A and B are shown apart, each in its own frame.
Chain A
C-alpha cells in the first residue's frame, strides 16, 4: 500500500523524477541484477497480497468460465419460478423473470471483465502510440501532442465518459469507447516520459550510433520498455475500470437488458429490494470481490516489479476513484 513508506511523497504520481542522468547505465545494471532472481510469478507468490489476488482471481475465472456449464442459460425465463430465494436448484435465487441468478452472475462477470480488458487494451494502444510518437518526434509534434494531452488530462474523466456515451448513445460498445476516449491521455503522457528516458539510455545511443534504423530502435528498444511499465499501470487500473463499467451500466449507459452485467443487474434489483434482497447482494459482492482481487494483484505486480524498474514509483491506479 502506498502509505506504508513514511518517506513517500504524496504527489509522486509525477514520474518526471525517474530520469536520472547521473546513472545512464542504471537500467543496464538492473537488468544484470535480475539474473538469478526468482521469476515474476514466484515473486508474486511470495508477496502476500499477490498470492491472495492470484488465488481469488483464479477462483473467479474458474467460476465464471466453468460455472455456466452447470447452471444453464442466463436468459431463460421461467415465470413460475420468479423471485425465488436461494435454493438447491437456484443457488443464488431467481429474478423477476425467473432467470437463474448464478448463471447471470457468471455471464455478467465474463462481460464485465472482458469489457474492462478491452478498455485497457484500447487505452494502451492509443496512449502508447501517441506517447511514443511524441517522444521520438521533433519539438513541434511533441508540443502539439502534449498540449492536446494536457487538455484531455485537465478534464474530469467522468464528464468526458458521460459526454461520449451521451452522444453515441447508451450501449456496452459505446461505453467501452467512452472509457477509452476519456482515459488514454494519461497513458500517452506516461509513455512519452518513458520514451524520453529510454532514448538517453546507453544501449539506445549505441544502437543509434551504429546506424540502426529509427523504427527498429523504437520497436526493439523503446517499445518493450514502455510496454513493461504500462503493463503495471494497466493492471493497477483494472479494478477501477471494472467499477467504472459497472457504475455507468447501473445508470443504464452500458449493457442493455436482457443481457446480464453486474451494474445492469444491480439497477434492476433496485425495484425488488424488499422482496428479493439476494438480487442486490450477489452482484454487489461479486463486484467487490473482483475489484479487491484485481487491486491486490495490481499492487503486488507493482511492488514486485519495482526492483527492476525505475519509472513506476509507488502509485495507485490512475482511473481509480475517478468515477465515483
Chain B
C-alpha cells in the first residue's frame, strides 16, 4: 500500500542498484536514519495538520473546555480564568510551540474532560488495543497463509475460485457491517460472547475475527499472487527439474520469496491496528484506544485528539520502518526494490 510507493530501498549489494545507491550514499544505517527521520516528520506533520485546523473549530476555545467539563452556562469570569490558565489567549503558533516542546519530552497535555494526563489515559487503554491487534493479525495470518498455498497449488481450479470468492466477499463487506451482523447473529441469536466486552482475552475472539476477515482476504490474495509469480520463475523450474516435489517447490522454494510483500503488508497492517480500530472497537464496545478517541471526539476533548493523532502517526510510520528494515535484512534482493 502506502509504503510500497517509497522510492528507495536500503543499500543494494545486488547488481544494477549499487551504483545508484553509491551515488545516494546510503548504507543500511543511513537507510534506517532516513526512515526514522521520515517517521518523525510524519508525527510532526500530523500535529501541524491538527493545529492548523484549530482556528476553524467552532466556538470559543475556553468556552469549549468548560462545556466539555460539564459547565452548561459558563460565566464570563470562568471563561477568562480558563483562558488564562490554559494559555489559550496566546498566539496559536506559540501554543503549538510549547505543546511540541512538552510533547517531545513525553509530556502531553491533560484531557479537558478528566483533567488527567492524556498519555496515561491512552496508555491505560493500550493493552486492550494491543491484545485485539495481535489476535486479529495472528488470526489473519493463520487463515491467509494456508489459503494462499492451497490456491497457488490448485491454480485455476475450484480451491482457487473459492479463495477468489472469499477475497471478493472480504472486499465487498465492510468490516463494521460484518461486526454488526456478527454481533446480531452470534451474540444475540446464538448467545455466545458478550455485547459489552471487557477487554479480556476470553472476549477478544469476535472483534478479532471481524478485523481478521478483511485482512485475511487481502493478504491471501497478495501471497497467492507472489506464489504464482515465484512458481513461474526459473528457480522453481530448476528445482522441479532436479526432482523436487510440488509441495517442496511450493513451500521451500516459492514461499520464502513470495512472502516479502506479504510481510510488508502484515507489518503495516499491524501498525495501523495498534493505533486503534475505532469502528470495530465501538461496534463491540471494546475498551481500547480507538473507542476512547471516538468518545473524546464526541465530547470535543482537543488534547486527546491532538495527542492521539501524533502518537498514532508515529507508531504507524515507525512500524512501517521496522518492517522495511526487517525485510531488507531478511531478503537482500528486496533492498533494490524500487
Out of A2, A6, A164, A292, which one reaches B155, CB within 8 Å? Answer: A6
Q: Which of A25-33, A64-72, A87-95, A273-281 contacts B (4 or more CB under 8 A)?
A: A273-281
* Inter-chain contacts of B262 with A (CB < 8 A): 10
* Complex: A196 Cα to B279 Cα, angstroms: 39
Out of B280, B302, B317, which one reaches A324, CB within 8 Å? Answer: B280
A154 and B294 contact, CB distance less than 8 A: no
A284 and B279 contact, CB distance less than 8 A: no
Smallest Cβ distance from B154 to chain A, in angstroms? Answer: 13
* Complex: A252 Cα to B272 Cα, angstroms: 22
A13 and B1 contact, CB distance less than 8 A: yes
* Complex: A243 Cα to B175 Cα, angstroms: 9
* Inter-chain contacts of A7 with B (CB < 8 A): 228-229, 232
Minimum CB distance partner of B181 in chain A = A284
B172 and A292 contact, CB distance less than 8 A: yes
* Complex: A247 Cα to B180 Cα, angstroms: 11
* Inter-chain contacts of B7 with A (CB < 8 A): 16
B309 and A324 contact, CB distance less than 8 A: no
* Complex: A266 Cα to B184 Cα, angstroms: 12
Q: Which of A115-123, A145-153, A199-207, A300-308 contacts B (4 or more CB under 8 A)?
A: A145-153
* Complex: A166 Cα to B177 Cα, angstroms: 23
Out of B45, B261, B302, which one reaches A167, CB within 8 Å? Answer: B302
- Flag A112-153 by CB within 8 Å of B: 1 or 0 each: 000000000000000000000000000000000000101111
B174 and A287 contact, CB distance less than 8 A: yes
List residues 294-313 of chain B with CB under 8 A from any CB of chain A: 294, 296-298, 300, 302, 305-306, 308-309, 312-313
**Interface of B (DSSP majority class):** helix
Out of B46, B176, B313, which one reaches A250, CB within 8 Å? Answer: B176
Is B63 located at the chain interface by the 8 A CB criterion? no
* Complex: A169 Cα to B297 Cα, angstroms: 7
Pick the most buried of B171, B221, B283, B293: most chain A CB atoms within 10 A of its CB.
B171
Q: What class of interface size applies to chain A in its complex with B?
A: 35 or more
* Inter-chain contacts of B337 with A (CB < 8 A): 11
Minimum CB distance partner of A5 in chain B = B225
B297 and A3 contact, CB distance less than 8 A: no
Out of B42, B171, B312, B313, which one reaches A320, CB within 8 Å? Answer: B171
Smallest Cβ distance from B328 to chain A, in angstroms? Answer: 15
Q: Which of A78-86, A96-104, A155-163 contacts B (4 or more CB under 8 A)?
A: A155-163
B180 and A266 contact, CB distance less than 8 A: yes
* Complex: A312 Cα to B195 Cα, angstroms: 44
Q: Which of B21-29, B49-57, B109-117, B119-127 contacts A (4 or more CB under 8 A)?
A: B49-57
* Complex: A189 Cα to B214 Cα, angstroms: 26
A251 and B282 contact, CB distance less than 8 A: yes
Is B316 located at the chain interface by the 8 A CB criterion? yes
Is B237 located at the chain interface by the 8 A CB criterion? no
Is A170 located at the chain interface by the 8 A CB criterion? yes
Is A321 located at the chain interface by the 8 A CB criterion? yes
A324 and B4 contact, CB distance less than 8 A: no
A284 and B177 contact, CB distance less than 8 A: yes
A280 and B184 contact, CB distance less than 8 A: yes
Is A246 located at the chain interface by the 8 A CB criterion? yes
- Flag A295-323 by CB within 8 Å of B: 1 or 0 each: 10000000000000000000010001111
Minimum CB distance partner of A153 in chain B = B2
* Inter-chain contacts of A180 with B (CB < 8 A): none
Is B83 located at the chain interface by the 8 A CB criterion? no
B53 and A156 contact, CB distance less than 8 A: no
- Flag A263-287 by CB within 8 Å of B: 1 or 0 each: 0001000100110010010001001
Is B183 located at the chain interface by the 8 A CB criterion? yes
The verdict on A151 contacting B42 (CB below 8 Å), with A7-B232, A273-B183 known, is: yes
Out of B168, B277, B294, B298, which one reaches A1, CB within 8 Å? Answer: B168
- Flag B199-214 by CB within 8 Å of A: 1 or 0 each: 0000000000001001
Is B335 located at the chain interface by the 8 A CB criterion? no
A321 and B172 contact, CB distance less than 8 A: no
Is A9 located at the chain interface by the 8 A CB criterion? yes
* Inter-chain contacts of A167 with B (CB < 8 A): 50, 53-54, 56-57, 302, 305
A153 and B177 contact, CB distance less than 8 A: no
Out of A159, A248, A270, which one reaches B46, CB within 8 Å? Answer: A159
* Complex: A181 Cα to B172 Cα, angstroms: 25
* Inter-chain contacts of B3 with A (CB < 8 A): 154
* Complex: A2 Cα to B225 Cα, angstroms: 9
Is B226 located at the chain interface by the 8 A CB criterion? yes
Smallest Cβ distance from A89 to chain B, in angstroms? Answer: 26
Is A42 located at the chain interface by the 8 A CB criterion? no
Pick the most buried of B2, B188, B317: most chain A CB atoms within 10 A of its CB.
B2
* Complex: A14 Cα to B275 Cα, angstroms: 26
* Inter-chain contacts of B225 with A (CB < 8 A): 2-3, 6, 8-10
* Inter-chain contacts of B171 with A (CB < 8 A): 295, 316, 320-321
Is B320 located at the chain interface by the 8 A CB criterion? yes
Minimum CB distance partner of B281 in chain A = A251
B278 and A163 contact, CB distance less than 8 A: no
* Complex: A106 Cα to B207 Cα, angstroms: 30
A164 and B53 contact, CB distance less than 8 A: yes
Q: Which residues of B contact A (CB under 8 A)?
A: 1-5, 7, 38-39, 41-42, 45-46, 49-50, 53-54, 56-58, 155, 164, 167-168, 171-177, 180-181, 183-184, 188, 211, 214, 218, 221-222, 224-226, 228-229, 232, 261-262, 272, 275, 277-280, 282-283, 293-294, 296-298, 300, 302, 305-306, 308-309, 312-313, 316-317, 320, 337-338
Q: Besides the contacts A1-B168, A162-B297, A280-B181, what 10 more A-B pairs have beta carbons closer than 8 Å?
A: A1-B164, A6-B229, A154-B38, A154-B39, A156-B312, A158-B278, A247-B176, A266-B180, A316-B171, A321-B171
Can you list 23 A-B pairs, Cβ within 8 angstroms, ordered by A? A1-B167, A3-B167, A6-B155, A154-B2, A155-B45, A159-B275, A159-B312, A160-B309, A164-B49, A166-B293, A166-B296, A166-B300, A167-B302, A168-B57, A189-B5, A243-B174, A247-B279, A251-B297, A270-B180, A288-B174, A321-B214, A322-B1, A324-B175
